[in-house]
Structure 1
Amino acid sequence: MKELPLTITPEALKATQQIMQSKDIPAKYGLRIGIRGKGCAGSQEFLLGFDTPSVQDQTFQYEGLPIYIDRAHLMYVIGLELAYETDEEGNQGFAFNNPK
């Protein structure tokens, strides 16, 4: 199994597992990480979802969680951190951070 190209915080892992359990997502599904196009500043919009693997995917395992990333998207996620954060107003959600 290949090394995961990004870091997943413990909070993000826990939130992912809780979502999968509360939404009754089947065990054959894993976390899909991808990108969609480019924004007006040339940056990518990162996507998260639950899916089964496709032939274009690179498959990873992290703490028992299958993670699927399209091979064409790998270069865009290398070095990123997937976090689950709370903002000043108490809103919670996933965030892709670039620690560089």
Structure 2
Amino acid sequence: MFAIPGSSPVKITPAAERQIARLMTGRNAFGLRIGLKKGGCAGMEYTMDLVETAEPNEEVVEQGAARVLIAPRAQMFLFGTEIDYENGLLESGFRFRNPNVTDACGCGESVRFEPLDGSRTGG
């Protein structure tokens, strides 16, 4: 992964750590896989799946009882991301604070990244 030696490629807040551990325990899962897929009005959407095992080349981040697996194709886009979990009166869920995002849709469900060659992605 695109990481600085001795530091985690993503940060997991205590609230996210508790929620991930709770989900893993409830489903007897190995961890929570995070990835990206094409979709949404901005071009890319985050994916999250509870999984029973790690796939080859996945980055595994462990914090307390929480384990996050980062899909290989998403690694360069997620480097430096903070994963949080927020409880609200109307909605609760995971939030990604990703410094690599260049644009997001109004509903916050999809994001856009500036590609390495400088051309735009998404749309």
TM-score, structure 2 normalization: 0.63
Cα deviation for residue 4 of structure 1 reads 2.5
After superposition, give the CA deviation of every residue in 1:15-66 in whole Å (9 maximum; x if it has no partner): 1112222x2414xx11211111153323x21112211111131223222433
- Mapped to 1, the partners of 2:65 and 2:87 lie a distance apart of 25
How many aligned positions are there?
95
Structure 2: any 5+ residue segments left out of the alignment? 101-123
What stretches of structure 1 of length at least 5 have no aligned partner?
none
What are the Cα deviations for residues 43-99 of structure 1, in whole angstroms up to 9, with x where unaligned?
Answer: x21112211111131223222433211222101111111111134x43211111235
Higher relative contact order (CA 8 A, sep 6+): 1
Structure 1 length normalisation: TM-score? 0.75
The aligned counterpart of 2:107 is: none
Greater share of residues in strand: 1
Bigger Rg over Cα = 2
The ranges of structure 1 where at least 4 consecutive aligned residues each deviate by more than 6 angstroms after the TM superposition are none
User: Per the alignment, do residues 86 and 99 of structure 1 end up closer, same or farther by CA in structure 2, a change over 3 Å counting?
Assistant: farther
